[in-house]
Structure formats: C-alpha cells, structure tokens
Amino acid sequence: MADDTRRPRPSLLLSARQVRYQLVLLARSPFGLFLTLVVPLLLLVSLNLITPSNAAIVWGGHHYAQFLTPAISAFCLLNACYVTTITTIVLARENGILKRLRGTPLPAWTYLAGRSGAAVLTAVASALIIIGTGVVFFHVTIIWGALGYFAGAAGLGIVCFFLLGVAVTTVVPNTDTALPVAFGTMLPLAFISDVFFSAIHSPLWLHDLASAFPIAPVARAMEAAFNPATRSWPMPVSGLVAVLGWSIAAAVVIALAFRWEPGPVQRRSG
C-alpha cells in the first residue's frame, strides 16, 4: 500500500498557503501597509476637507463624500491589485525568489493564485475601511439596493487590475523602476477617470479617452452604486467590453511573456 504521507498536497491548499504567506509579507512591510491602507484613507479625509463647499455637490445635490467614498474605494483596488502586484512580483523576481519557486513542485498557477488571493483580501479590507470611515465621519449613505452592483463592479476591477499588474511586470526591468512605472501609469488615468473628482464638467473628449481604459468604467459603476437614483446595473456595455478586453489582453501577455527569472545584470560603468 502506498504511503499516504508521500502524496503531494492539493493545489488549493498550496494556493491558500501562498495567500497567507503574501499577507504575512505585507504585514511585515511598513511601506506596503502605508501605501495600501493608509494612503487611501488620507486621500478620503484630505479631499473632503479641502474641497470648497460650492464644488462639493454632485448628482443633483448630494454631498461630495457620497461620491468620493466609492471613488476612493476604486483607488483601493488599484493600489492593492495593480501597484502592489507590480512592485512585489518584480521584487520577488529580481531577488531570485520566483526562480527558486519555479524549481519546486509548486505549480505556476498556484503562485499567481496566491498573489491574487492576497490582493483580493487586501483590496476588500482597504475598501471596507474607506466605506466605514465615510459612513461614520462624513455621513455617507450606503444604498443597500445597489450594493450588489458595487460588489460586481469591484469584482471586475479586482480581476482586471490584478491581471494588468502581472502583465506590466513583463516590461519592468528591475525593482528601481517598478514603483515609478506603477504610479506613472496609474495616477494619470485615475485623475481622468473620476477617481478623485467627479468629471461631470470635463470635456467630452477626455471622458471618451478615459472610457477606453478599464479604470473609468469600474470607478464610475462603483460610484453610481452610491447614487440613490441608481436602479439598474450602472456599467454600460461599452465599459464592460473595455474591462473584459483589457483583462483578456493582459492574460495573453502573462501567458506569453511572464518571466520567472531575473533580467541580466547591467554592467556598471566606471
């Protein structure tokens, strides 16, 4: 009779352990915790405080915080699933951790599943902190009938932003450029995609440009779920196509170009 103790562990168990491992790494990183949990909270508080009262009205009379709370929640998804994914995977790759993992019985998909699971939990925790702060301190009202729309849009965003983060690591050469690339690609799109300010007065061409990228459809749908007037799924078909299209393109890039080994060491001049 074969020894049961020698059977390989189920892949799902390995994925769960990867999730736990990634969360422990985040908990031990003060910068990672600050970036993921504290920065969105600071943005929520500061933007509510500095926005003039005559500019703090959206959706036909509702206060700015009713818009800003789900908007910053979308920013939490970007932080946890895009920025953090880029920086941590590039760091693991350039330190040789991915190469060592590749040489173990751990299936490749289990590692990425563990990364994605940690990103999901971190994003959800950060968004819950933002929503709780908005409700308690800024009198934000949760529209319970539209909560499913909020969760659906957030789920699409989590998947898309994580896949895009992994795909971007294929073109990031080293750890020094990971954070600049992550923020350099995310922040400009976030500013034009209704993440920090309502774009109801922005030019039509800028609105259309933002709509071609996945951040705007996700953020606008999450924001609309906090609008009392919302009665149906708030993401248009064009927005859903953009999110799914970017997700599929990112998955193709990952399948073809994801690197497990560090890049060549550049020769120092001098």
pLDDT in tens, 91-124: 999 999 888 888 777 777 788 888 899 899 999 9
Q: What is the mean pLDDT of residues 18-37?
A: 79
Asked whether the predicted pLDDT for residue 180 surpasses 80, the reply is yes
Nearest residue to 168 via CA among 154, 155, 185, 156:
185
Greater model confidence, 22 or 46: 46
Cα–Cα distance measured from residue 270 to residue 267, given in angstroms and rounded to the nearest whole number: 9
Q: What is the mean pLDDT of residues 235-258?
A: 97
Nearest residue to 104 via CA among 200, 8, 209, 32:
8
Residues near 256 by beta carbon (within 8 Å), at least 6 away in sequence: none
Cα–Cα distance measured from residue 69 to residue 76, given in angstroms and rounded to the nearest whole number: 11
Specify whether the CB–CB gap between 140 and 105 falls below 8 A.
no
pLDDT in tens, 146-175: 999 999 999 999 999 999 999 999 999 999
Specify whether the CB–CB gap between 111 and 93 falls below 8 A.
no
Report how far apart, in Å, the C-alpha atoms of 23 and of each of 117, 122, 162, 184, 239 are. 9, 8, 16, 25, 32
Nearest residue to 242 via CA among 225, 267, 264, 221:
221
Provide the whole-model pTM. 0.88
Specify whether the CB–CB gap between 80 and 123 falls below 8 A.
yes
